Structure 1
Amino acid sequence: MKHLQLKKASLLLTGLVIGGRLFAQTPDSTKIMTKDYVQPFSDGSAFRTWSVGFEGGVLTPYSIFGIKNQDVHSPHEKIGYGGFIKDQILPSFGIQANFLTGNVGGAVTSFNEATGGYTSFNTKLNYAVDLAANFTLANINWRHNKSAIQPYLTVGGGVVGYSAVVNNNGTEVTQARTHEFYLPVGAGFKIDLAKGVNLDLGYQVNFVNADNFDGIVTGSTNDRFSYGHIGLEFALGSRSKPQLATHNPVASMRTEYLMDEQRLQIQVDQQKAKNQQLASDLANTNAKLDKLTVDSDGDGVIDMFDKCPNTPAGTQVDGAGCPLPVKKPDVKVYVTQEDRKVVSEAVKNLEFDFGKSTIRDHSFESLNKLAQLLVSKGFNLKLAGYTDNVGSTEANLKLSRERAEAVKTYLATQGADASKIQAEGYGKSNPIATNKTEKGRQINRRVEFSMF
């Protein structure tokens, strides 16, 4: 029986090693692969990080460490089953909560006083719950887009609750139910069956922090039992997102590079097409130059576009070849006290919504009078916006500029010449009152007018 158990464990380990070396890779392609593509350095919301698993397998007191120093000499195989829920934190690291239940049994083939005459046992594994770290080993791959097999290692800690029934020369003795700390250490690999569905093959050894797991207390060595299982893992979340545990971030980096390369090539091709069109247009233009260079009256406008032919020599003309109007002498207009009063009223009544560049309605009447003054006398106007010291320098500078521009825009809609209005923003510089009080800050939130 001992040799049979050893063969089974050897076959299981051989399967794990071979599975880990296969890696069943998806072959590379010269085309850009956009399936399961996620922009590099994206956060966890771009993936399915949570998953659940269900499994069943064999429980036995025998493990890859053998049965030396164990109370049992002839382990029996029993059925066990369980499940887990996992949060994949990094492509190669996750935290999972595990649950396991079933039965563990064996026989004592050599009688001695230490074993107290017990010949066999069966331990009911009421529950085994633990929190374990899961290390995925082969999802980051520099040679292939994706690995179809992901080997993994697990290690954790938890609580196992159990009760043992031992056979003492034909008499069954039930031990009291108890619970102890245990340490599960395991390895295995997962095979991708479909998007978000994985076949889970694993093996773990569970070290119990007690010697009464098999109902027989002898020696100084704690008991242990192993669990080989097969199960299915299902990723939770949107099917449009890849599972983080099986995602290869290197493939996304490669896809990003190829996409950039393709975009650049498209831009180069488009520019080549534009250059060819420009060369064709230039050739056609050169062929027609002789027809477009005749200027009969010498005014600088070719006959083809000259709407006023035979202009007398020395006459200044516009782009259509017609004489320019005689420029009238500038008439000086002076700023009167009444004009300054109009400006003062506009400044006094100007208010904006808090933290915005929206002019309040009661300011429009004074601004309308200012616009009429600018239209009638052709004055130039400079607008200087200021804020208090609340907020960042960049935000205040932006807000002061937007408020000055808002006044300029409104005056232009009322007929003022926008080219004669200069709008600047100076943020929280040049305060005219203290910024330590609300009243002072209100005074500093202003737009100054300078008319000339």
Structure 2
Amino acid sequence: MDYSTLKKGLAVSFAALVGATSIASAQEASSAKVFGGAGQYRTWSLGVNGGVLSPFAVIGGSNDFTNWKAELGYGISLRKQISHAFGLEGNLFRGKVSGDNKDANAAGTVNGISNFETDIAYATDLRGVVNIGSVDFLHRENSVNFFVTAGYGVVAYNPKVNGVDKKGTWGDDGDKDYIKEAYIPVGAGVKFKVSDRVSFNLGYTLHFIDSDNFDGVYAKGTTKDKFSYGYAGLEFSLGSKAKQNLDWANPVALMYDELKDPSLRQEVEALKNRVANVEKAVEDLKKDSDGDGVSDQFDKCPGTPAGTAVDGSGCPLPKAPEPTAVSNASGFENIQFDFNSSVLKTDSYPTLDKLSSILRENGGKVTLKGYASSEGTAAYNMKLSKDRANSVKTYLVNTGVNSSQVGIKAYGEANPIASNDTEEGRIQNRRVETARN
């Protein structure tokens, strides 16, 4: 067995796996997100194929016979799509490969050999499949994909030379029907999307065998036999019809669409304004007009004479002003969220800014109670309600509120304030409530 050949094939497969998986680490048909993960797609597919087997290869190379005959091959495949660009595929196929020497000379023989016919009992392999491009790369879903494959497999075959069948004479003990050898499959192809579930594939694969006996002729001790398979087939996507097939998803187009989304642009502009406000607040925090060591932002007694001892609020000692009493009643509107989202809406910023100002100026604590509507599982809604409460807390902390002043509680779909049987009611239930402690 030529282990160097096998090592090279395995290295190619491993490199493709590592490269494509790194791309995936950076991933419902109408709501798929660029970084939403593979769970939002269908990732399994089953294929059937048929085509022509030949001992010749399009890349050329040596061959023990001058002519080949078109013989039937057929097989099945099962693929797991790991990322937008990479999948692992198991293949199993059968068929027959044959050729002759009719053009070698007038006798049509070479060293007394006129023809061969090799029956493939089975050939099975595992391949890495890399999607390398699409002709419609700006669409959310591709309709034409090009791919390359490489892997490792085992073939069981029985070669017949000049019509002589040696079945039952192979193996170390001379009692086996078939010879078994390792091979490296390397191929390329194109697939066309027929429907959300079905694609039509055209492909060509070279099989480099780790022996020189595939055609029954030991021509040279340093050469290895090979055979090729040109095929057409159908591939069927498995899984929930509510999800898009990951094999056809296009992250470049998805990102393009998201960047063109008007609501996203509004969010970006709102974030820019918030950053500007935060920068201004930082500058205000640094300013200390009377030089008493307390910034103007928190100085309740501005203009104290130089050298005057002051407390933390900037007022002269020993009489410090009593802290202002704050009502425990919340008095704040609920913070609303969109369906299946924990992203703050811009119209909630004024309410949150008011709450932030009160907590920063007067101290005290607040508990954020997160809720969700009844769509989805109870466990998922519990996590979503916690994420919503955390989004509000993050906003408050980013505007200067101490993290210890803000607590969160998640209630999931419990304690609805409106009916979950209507969309109007569900909208009200997607909320975070504030409670002063």
Task: Provide the TM-score with structure 1 as the length reference.
Answer: 0.48
Q: Whose radius of gyration is greater, 1 or 2?
A: 1
Task: Provide the TM-score with structure 2 as the length reference.
Answer: 0.50
Name the one with the larger helix percent. 1
